[in-house]
Amino acid sequence: MDHVDLNLIEALDALLAENSVTKAAERLHTSPPAMSRALARLRRAFGDPLLVRAGRDLVPTPRALELRGEVQAVTSRARALFAPSGTADPRTAVRTFDLQVGDMLSTTFIPRLLDDLRAEAPGISLRLRPESLEDTPALREGLVDLEVGIVRQGHPEIRSETLLTETLTGVVRPDHPLAEARTVTPRRFAAADHVVVSRRGRAHGPIDERLAEAGLSRRVVAVVPSVATALFLTRETDVVGVAPAGLGRSMLRTLGLHTFAIPLELPPLTVGMAWHPRNDHDRTHRLLRDRIRHIMTTVLDGPGGVAP
């Protein structure tokens, strides 16, 4: 089998369909002598005449009749393999995608995405990967098919798209002193104990930079890797946390937390998705991106956050 020319399968399919060397040659746009040579090679490969003369016609041998259905199936699958990918309908594809999604989005966005895919592309399944996987290497190495969350823009090796922008809101439990304040000033904000969210364990960020510009600093009593953990700590202790105002609304309401405007000029959060260029033209991957875009910009209602 190592020395068999697989192009002979197509010749065999034509010969068994036409029962004629001349007609098989016409079908494959080759010459009758070339088809005769192909038939001779096929006879040697199978150890069977395959087609024998019966008067002026060729008729298949029993071995050829056994092969006909399988040869036709093999050639059909081969043609489908080399057919343009645009011929497949991504809405009927059966496929699993690995997603890396921020924990806050997991509670608001993923349930809506699952409902949407069940209706639009029920063959697509999602596997959520931990945020500990770094974005660019994970996308490049194929560990993650799509990242959704706070993504870095402009990396030359990664495609990215902004989906919406968010603002941060201050969060405390209802009996926290800041919950009773008519106005939270920068000084009162800085004087409270704070919990910070950072996957990399960083205690300082844009809030600390803005406080420093005003000659203030805050005490960070805990650094945690996820917004969900920070919010649970905020509910149980007298610390101040921050959360996305819109995307976090559902969880904040569920936990019964009080929100207030942070008295600092902070840059907006950019929520987007990122993927490796090899998936640019993958129709099923593109369908998934379209559904994510639809949910983020329509169901989650853009910059305003989660729609009712």
* Residue 134: pLDDT band with limits 50, 70, 90: low
Q: Give the pLDDT score at 226.
A: 86
| DSSP conformational letter for 2 | T
Q: Which domains does the chain have, with CATH numbers?
A: 8-83 (1.10.10.10), 91-165+271-304 (3.40.190.10), 168-260 (3.40.190.10)
Instruction: Indicate the burial class of 27 (C-beta count within 10 angstroms; 0-12, 13-18, 19 or more).
Output: middle
Q: What sign has the CA pseudo-torsion 90, 92, 98, 103?
A: positive
pTM, 2 dp: 0.65
Phi, psi of 221 (to 5 degrees): -95, -15
Per-residue pLDDT, averaged over 289-294, amounts to 95
Q: What is the pLDDT of residues 73-122, one digit of tens each?
A: 888 777 766 665 555 688 888 899 999 988 778 878 899 999 999 999 99
* Residue 230: pLDDT band with limits 50, 70, 90: very high
The residue ranking higher by pLDDT, 55 or 82, is 55
pLDDT reading at 48 higher than 80: yes
Least confident of 24-28, 58-62, 106-110, 274-278: 106-110
How many whole angstroms from its chain centre is CA 110? 12
Question: Which of 154, 164, 81, 144 is CA-nearest to residue 279?
Answer: 144
* Residue 146: pLDDT band with limits 50, 70, 90: very high
Q: Give the pLDDT score at 303.
A: 42
